[in-house]
């Protein structure tokens, strides 16, 4: 099937992405459904601020821009990054986070203990997948700030609050609210390429992303 020129196509070729949802292509491959009527497939699909089209020269990335207001919370101990990062999402202190769920502020916990604690705070897991900046932008747009595990010693939890750039890995920057160092914390801007690398290296923690 031939998808609209500016659209991303599903793996089975039956749908195209309009920037907000997947839309069906006709059986003959020459028309697409916009939710109300069929249009010739050669017509351009609606543009998206966070989409990537494919041309004869390879991927053509579109700019992305999503920002959320996040209050930085520093971790009070060497091992409480997870609690401080949850605190950023729920507007509490790390101590309040651990007190509610019966854990210790200086304890070292894995995902099997953090996930139920996060659910008690009303957070929802989002199971990660690899992708370009437009995928992260769509998550931020749909779900707000994200609790993320990346490489650390051995792993480290941070909050992603925004993404801005031209849609390429090196021309797009991720805003990271890092609870480290203890009693300080830092707001960092890093390229999507570096963020993606740190995120993939943190996959051994077997942790999902978390959002409100």
pLDDT digit string (tens) for 87-140?
999 999 999 999 999 999 999 999 999 999 999 999 999 987 778 999 999 999
Tokens for 29?
A: 């491959």
pLDDT of residue 118: 98
pLDDT of residue 73: 99
Mean local confidence (pLDDT), 18-45: 52
Sketch out the chain's domains with CATH numbers.
8-48 (no CATH), 66-211 (3.90.70.10)
Mean local confidence (pLDDT), 55-67: 74
Task: Output the CA–CA distances (angstroms, integers) from residue 71 to 87, 115, 131, in the order listed.
Answer: 9, 22, 27
Alpha-carbon span 64 to 58, nearest angstrom: 19
| Residues paired with residue 178 on neighbouring β-strands, in sequence order | 186
* The Cα angle at residue 79 between residues 100 and 101, in degrees rounded to 5: 10
* CA distance from start to end of the chain: 38
pLDDT of residue 29: 52
pLDDT of residue 153: 84
CB 66 within 8 A of CB 161: no
What pTM did the predictor assign? 0.73
């Amino acid at each position: 099937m031939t998808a609209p020129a500016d659209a991303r196509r599903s793996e089975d070729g039956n749908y195209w992405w309009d920037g907000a949802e997947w839309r069906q292509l006709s059986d003959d491959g020459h028309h697409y459904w916009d939710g109300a009527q069929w249009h010739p497939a050669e017509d351009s699909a609606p543009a998206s601020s966070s989409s990537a089209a494919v041309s004869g020269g390879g991927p053509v990335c579109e700019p992305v821009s999503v920002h959320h207001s996040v209050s930085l919370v520093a971790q009070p101990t060497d091992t409480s990054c997870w609690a401080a990062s949850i605190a950023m999402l729920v507007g509490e202190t790390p101590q309040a986070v651990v007190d509610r769920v019966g854990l210790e502020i200086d304890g070292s916990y894995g995902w099997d203990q953090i996930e139920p604690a996060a659910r008690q705070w009303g957070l929802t897991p989002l199971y990660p997948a690899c992708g370009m900046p437009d995928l992260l932008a769509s998550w931020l747009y749909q779900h707000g700030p994200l609790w993320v595990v990346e490489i650390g010693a051995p792993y480290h939890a941070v909050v992603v609050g925004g993404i801005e750039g031209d849609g390429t890995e090196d021309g797009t920057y991720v805003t990271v609210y890092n609870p480290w160092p203890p009693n300080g914390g830092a707001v960092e801007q890093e390229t999507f390429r570096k963020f993606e690398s740190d995120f993939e290296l943190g996959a051994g923690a077997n942790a999902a992303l978390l959002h409100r």
